[in-house]
Amino acid sequence: MSLRSSFAEAAGRSSYWFLHTFMNGGSSLPGKLTLKLDPNILQAFSKKYDLVIVTGTNGKTLTTSLSVRVLREKYDHVLTNPTGSNMEQGIVTTFITAPRPKKKGLAVLEVDEANVVKVTKYITPIAFIFTNIFRDQMDRYGEIYTTYQKILNGVKLAPKATIIANGDEQLFNSHDLPNPIIYYGFNHEQREPFDAPANTDGLLCPKCQHILKYRMRTYANLGDYFCPHCGFKRPKLTYAVTKIDQLTPTSSTFELDGEKYKIGIGGLYNIYNALAAYALGRFLGV
């Protein structure tokens, strides 16, 4: 670590101590101060951690939390940003306030879509997790295609990193990438081809802009989709939900590739988050 980086880190740590001790805060401002003193500070952590980036418009925080729980079955310590401060300054705060690892550590960080490139510019991750791309973020980044392109701008800087992507999300299958890709999704039922409700968001084929059809749909535009016009279709899933046993407001019981699992939280969308964490755990040998 350079003298400049060391000074910037020390200043950031000091500001965090003050804000955390006296104002019960400090998730973002220490990182902002550190970046002001050394805009390249993230490079100082590139040799200290293997990094997993969790990104997408929804589900990042829970997917990150579940992933950390899974990985702690194998790793003594996993660095993460539990406050959900996922912009560049928040990520810097996470690094500068962490205990210095005695050996190379593992970091699983929730990263805002537009900030992926700001991280991969300095730290090459070993893996990305893609949750979904929905239009509820249009007030921030415009169209879903714009949002995904912001993620891809960061991915292009890490062509060897493994992508663990929601295979039921069409956009994640719309670009040919050099990265190894693991797809997860739902395979719990099959029906004759049908149309999604007309008011469903994101129903156009990303290749030819014709309306997609489904053999299975979980919610919104997620599911086993295909385009009857150009042949675009869902990729083969590496890990899949094969059965849903019970859904309650406070729990979900389901099977992943034939094995029973239960999470203490309701909602079909949260099974996607658990499935992403499961896929990352399998990728890292848990």
Question: What pLDDT score does 135 carry?
Answer: 83
Q: Any residues with CB less than 8 A from the CB of 74 and at least 6 apart, and which?
A: 284, 285, 286
Q: Number of structural domains, the chain?
A: 1
pLDDT band at 138 (very low <50, low <70, confident <90, very high): low
**What integer best gives the mean pLDDT of the chain?**
92
User: Smallest Cα–Cα separation from 109: which of 122, 96, 91, 124?
Assistant: 91
CB under 8 A, 24+ apart: contacts of 139-145: 140/114, 141/113, 141/114, 144/171, 144/202, 145/171, 145/206
pLDDT band at 192 (very low <50, low <70, confident <90, very high): very high
* Mean pLDDT computed over 171-184: 97
Q: Are 202 and 220 in contact (CB under 8 A)?
A: yes
Is the pLDDT at 215 greater than 70? The verdict is yes
Residue 66's domain comprises 3-283
pTM of the model: 0.92
> Which CATH number goes with the domain that contains 57?
3.40.1190.10
More confident residue, 278 or 142: 278
Cα–Cα distance measured from residue 207 to residue 214, given in angstroms and rounded to the nearest whole number: 16
The encoded tokens of residue 203 equal: 């129903």
Question: What pLDDT score does 139 carry?
Answer: 61
Q: For the segment 102-132, what is each residue's pLDDT rounded down to a tens digit? A: 889 999 999 999 999 999 999 999 999 999 9
Is the pLDDT at 252 greater than 90? The verdict is yes
Q: CA 249, 70, 235 angle in degrees (round to 5)?
A: 80
